[in-house]
Each structure stands twice: as structure tokens, then as C-alpha cells.
Amino acid sequence: MRIEGYSKARVLLMLLFAIFSTAAGAQTLTLVSWGGSYARSVERAWVEPFMEETGITVRVEDYNGGLAQIRAQVETGNVFWDVVDMSTPDAVRGCDEGMLEFIRLEDLPPAPDGTPASEDFPPGSRSECAGGGIVSSTIVAFNNELFPGEKPSTLEDYFDLEKFPGRRGMRRVPVVNLEFALMADGVPLERVYQTLDTDQGVARAFAKLDTIKDQIVFWEAGAQPPQMLADQEVVMTTAYNGRIFNAQILENQPFTIIWDGQVQETSGLVIVLGTPRLEIAEQFLEFISSSESLAAISKYISYSPTRNSANALVSTHLDTGIDMAPHMPAAEQNMRRALNSDWLWWADNRDEMNERFAVWLAR
């Protein structure tokens, strides 16, 4: 009996040790994204399928963009973020400054028809340190209930306080706001960045922003504009098109998107230099960079995939069954006056524009 008891105890100890060892060695990846409805879409389209396929746990955290937190982690050698969803201008800067791992296109999956990834991304759509991502659009949106008569329909209407009085929501950054100001002031799309390359052009943009400054309510997180519209804190706001789409479709909010003057931006997933989880970070990046994974995001939110082959896989919204194509930034009817953000210009000029924007805010 003592031998039997000893054997049982030993087996129990071995089982406990195995459980402890498994838990201690469990692989966990930290993905940093933009929060709100977009982060929920990322979890459903990318994170859950990856965890199911690999058994690797992915923890999702939110941020508002920028490089400051990544720079601090890399410089101190205390890297606890692994993969970050990042705008292309920040990815370019982070790559140039040596804060991110290089991503070889040759390591990413080919398109369904065998086209190499190197031939499947539009020219100039990604940084050397970024894998797959999305094409999003900053647009102007308004609450229909606040305009019982004539409704705004152009970017110029956002700046017209006489015709459409009321407070405006605006992200507290110069990116897109300077482009909006110049387009609304009559600068043709093809000359926006050429104009911003001059001191007179920058002054012109800020002068246009001055015309509505007293009526601006600033926002920082992407979830704020829909809430500001719903609360009628503002009558119009700049916003990410996907956030407004989800409010319209999932929450039945009476919002309308003004596609006129939309500014399209790309983003991609990057790996923070020095992560001790490099191997599983690369595995995750490879997984989400396939055409099928990139197209999956459009089942939940109206952002386009960055790969050409993935666009053909966009179909319907999973929860409602509606056709997603008309809600995409690149839909033909939405592209009549659309500007592609010049991420190279912003990579070179962001610091200066941030300083000038801060000065403008303080005036």
C-alpha cells in the first residue's frame, strides 16, 4: 500500500510539474493596435484565427500612435511590445531610426494565384519594416438629426460656419488637418504637398484652420468622434471611416460620411527591435500578411486590405450580410475627390509640423 501510495503521490507531483512547466513556457505575444471597433475587428479577423491555429496567446493593447513609447523601450532594452499596428509615416521613421525589425517581402506568403508578395503590394504602400495592413480614410461625418434642412456634402462645408453653424470635431494633430484646410481653400489635389513644401503654403493651411478654431472640439482616440456625434457635442467631425461605418451599421446611428476630400492612409504591422519573442512575432506577421487574412478585416469594418490580391476577396459584412464594397475608401463613387496621404512627406516633416501645430494650439 505504501508503494502504491508513493506511486500515486509521485504521479501527482509529475502532473503538477508538467502543468507548471507548460504554463511557465507558454508563448504570449503582445500586439498593440488602435483600440475601439478597429481593435475588435483585428481580434476577430487576425488574432483569434492565429491563436486557434498556433496555440500562441496574443494579448492586444491599445495606443494612439506615435513612436515615443517604442523609442523608450528600445533605448532602455526593456521591450515588452512585440508587434505594433502603425501608420506608414511612423513605420518609415521608426525603420530609419533603427527601432524596428526589417521585413523581407520574400518571407511573406504569395497571393492565391502564386504572385509573390513583392509584386502584390502597390508601389510605395509600405515601409521596409512593415508587413500587411490596411488602407483607411480620414473623412468628415455629420449627424443627420442636426441638419433637418440642407445637409453638408463637401469638405468646404466643414469649414463653413455661416452656412452650417455648430462645433466641429478635429483630431489634435496636424496630419490630414493641413491637407483638409488646403483642399477646402481651393488647392487642387495634385498640388497639396507641393503647397505644404513652402512656408506660405503652411501659413495658408493654418489660416484656414483659424476660420473655425473657436468652434473646434479636439479628439485623440478614434472611438471619440462617433461618440461626439451621438452626444451631439459636435455637428460635424473628422473621423476614421471605419469607426463611422460601425456606428452606422452596428449601432444604427444617424450619421453620414462626406467622402469628398477624403485622405487615404496606409498602415502596416511592425516588429519592435529587440523583442525577445522575435520568432513568434515573425510568425504572426507572416500569418496576417496573407491575402486571405488581410481581406478578413473587411468582414468586420470598412477598411481595405493593402495587398492587391486581397481586394478581390472582399465580400460581405459578417454580422449583417451587407455588401462591403460600396463602403470601402477605394470604391469608385467615393474616389471622385480623394487624396492619397504622402507618407514620405510626413516622415520628413512630421516633427516640424507637430511643433507648428502646438504653437497654433497655444495661440
The per-residue pLDDT for range 94-128, each reduced to its tens digit, is 999 999 999 998 899 999 999 999 999 987 778 89
* pLDDT for the residue numbered 1: 36
Q: Coil, strand or helix: which one is 38? A: helix
* Predicted local distance difference test score (pLDDT) of residue 26: 63
Tens-digit pLDDT profile for residues 255-278: 999 999 999 999 999 999 999 999
For the entire predicted model, the pTM comes to: 0.81
Rounded CA separation 317/296 (Å): 10
Q: Is residue 50 scored above 90 in pLDDT? A: yes
User: What percent of the chain shows pLDDT beyond 70?
Assistant: 93
Strand partners, 155: none
Q: For the residues 330-344, what does the mean pLDDT come to? A: 90
Reported confidence tier of residue 41, pLDDT bands at 50, 70, 90: very high
pLDDT tens-place string over residues 290-299:
999 999 999 9
Across the chain, what does the average pLDDT equal?
91
Ordered domains of the chain (ranges, CATH): 10-135+267-311 (3.40.190.10), 137-265+334-362 (3.40.190.10)
pLDDT band at residue 199 under the 50/70/90 scheme = very high
Q: Collect all residues with Cβ–Cβ distance below 8 Å to 334 and sequence separation of at least 6.
A: 137, 259, 262, 326, 328
d(CA 5, CA 49): 44
The C-alpha atoms of residue 65 and residue 19 are separated, in whole angstroms, by 38
The 3 state secondary structure assigned to 173-185 is CCCCHHHHHHHHC
CA distance 129 to 88: 10
Distance CA(1)–CA(4), nearest Å, equals: 5
User: 166 near 228, Cβ under 8 Å?
Assistant: no
The residue type at 86: M
pLDDT tens-digit series, residues 135-187: 999 999 999 999 999 999 999 999 999 999 999 999 999 999 999 999 999 99
Residue range 310-330: mean pLDDT, rounded: 93
Residue 300 and residue 311: Cα distance in Å, rounded? Answer: 15
Conformation bin of residue 77: beta by default, left when phi > 0, alpha when psi is -120 to 50: left
